[in-house]
């Protein structure tokens, strides 16, 4: 079985001190590759270093919408930093009106900048959206995000939002939240999203799946997300693993050996 964690934060303090343990659990659980996602440009060198050190770890470059203190970022700078064989995506970017309630025009501008950078460099987007689905989809359409493609990561929105993103050619990525007791509505969305449009992720160190809920999450635990998707869709976990891994390599323009196609 071959699984891929399409979104983790291996450079965060909870995991950075024990990367070797995390890589060992990946091996044990059949997780062959992981994408380590940037949240600030300040920490980007850590992400790039992990991607350079480990052949099966990739990186992305971007500034997360929760980081209101982060200095303004230009499309030129994102494009320049993305010009690296192991940096496969722009993000995470998007909108989050849950954490930051005051005027979020700066978030929308930052999001537009990331979409423009992704279109320019031809690398897909990793999009985070929380309590802001309508504006997220509107800006994706206005900025023609479909030309870059990408993934709606850690998806927790409705079927309509999933459909809107898929109409733009985006993939939908599910995290350990699908295993949570109170996530009935999300499980229904995960049951309906075609496997051909789906990725799976941990978003580790956060959101450890059941039966590890509340503990530190890590990429190896993406196996439990795959198992839940299999149960929901009535498919063997091996099929979920194979298709979501193939989707990952296709979206991020990699061949299965982990090098550029």
- Contacts to Zn ion by CB under 5 A: 92, 128, 203
Nearer to Zn ion among residue 5 and residue 203 (C-beta): 203
Nearest distance from residue 235's CB to Zn ion, in Å? 26
Nearer to Zn ion among residue 92 and residue 143 (C-beta): 92
Contact 164, 152 (CB under 8 A): no
Nearest distance from residue 239's CB to Zn ion, in Å? 26
Nearest distance from residue 203's CB to Zn ion, in Å? 5
Nearer to Zn ion among residue 26 and residue 47 (C-beta): 47
Nearer to Zn ion among residue 7 and residue 119 (C-beta): 7
Q: Which residue is nearest to Zn ion (CB)?
A: 128
Is the N-terminal amide bond of 211 cis, ω within 30° of 0?
Answer: yes
DSSP state of 180: S
Sheet holding 125-130, edge to edge: 3-8, 31-36, 57-61, 87-96, 125-130, 150-152, 171-174, 198-200
Contact 232, 195 (CB under 8 A): no
Residue 146 to residue 138: CA distance in whole angstroms: 12
The torsion angle over the Cα atoms of residues 239, 244, 250 and 254, rounded to 10 degrees, is: -100
Nearer to Zn ion among residue 82 and residue 237 (C-beta): 82
Residue 70 to residue 64: CA distance in whole angstroms: 9
Residue 140 to residue 127: CA distance in whole angstroms: 10
Nearer to Zn ion among residue 5 and residue 92 (C-beta): 92
Nearest distance from residue 236's CB to Zn ion, in Å? 28
Nearest distance from residue 246's CB to Zn ion, in Å? 22
Helix (H/G/I), strand (E/B), else coil: 128:
strand
Nearest distance from residue 175's CB to Zn ion, in Å? 9
Q: Which residues pair with 95 in a beta bridge?
A: 129
């Amino acid at each position: 079985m071959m699984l891929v964690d399409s979104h983790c934060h291996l450079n965060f303090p909870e995991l950075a001190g024990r990367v070797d343990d995390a890589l060992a659990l990946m091996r044990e659980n059949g997780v062959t590759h992981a994408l380590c996602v940037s949240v600030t440009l300040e920490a980007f060198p850590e992400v790039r270093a992990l991607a350079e050190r480990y052949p099966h770890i990739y990186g992305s470059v971007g500034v997360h919408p929760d980081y209101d203190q982060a200095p303004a970022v230009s499309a030129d700078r994102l494009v320049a930093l993305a010009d690296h064989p192991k940096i496969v995506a722009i993000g995470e970017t998007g909108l989050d009106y849950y954490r930051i309630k005051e005027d979020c025009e700066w978030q929308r501008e930052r999001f537009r900048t990331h979409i423009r950078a992704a279109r320019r460099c031809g690398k897909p987007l990793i999009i985070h959206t929380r309590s802001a689905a309508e504006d997220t989809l509107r800006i994706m359409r206005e900025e023609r995000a479909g030309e870059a493609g990408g993934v709606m990561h850690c998806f927790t929105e409705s079927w309509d939002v999933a459909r809107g993103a898929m109409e733009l050619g985006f993939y939908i990525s599910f995290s350990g939240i699908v295993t949570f007791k109170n996530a009935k509505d999300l499980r229904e969305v995960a049951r309906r999203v075609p496997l051909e449009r789906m990725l799976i992720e941990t978003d580790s160190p956060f959101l450890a799946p059941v039966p590890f809920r509340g503990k530190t999450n890590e990429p190896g635990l993406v196996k439990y997300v795959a198992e839940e998707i299999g149960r929901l869709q009535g498919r063997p976990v091996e099929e979920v693993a194979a298709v979501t891994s193939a989707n990952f390599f296709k979206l991020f323009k990699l061949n299965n050996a982990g090098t550029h196609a």
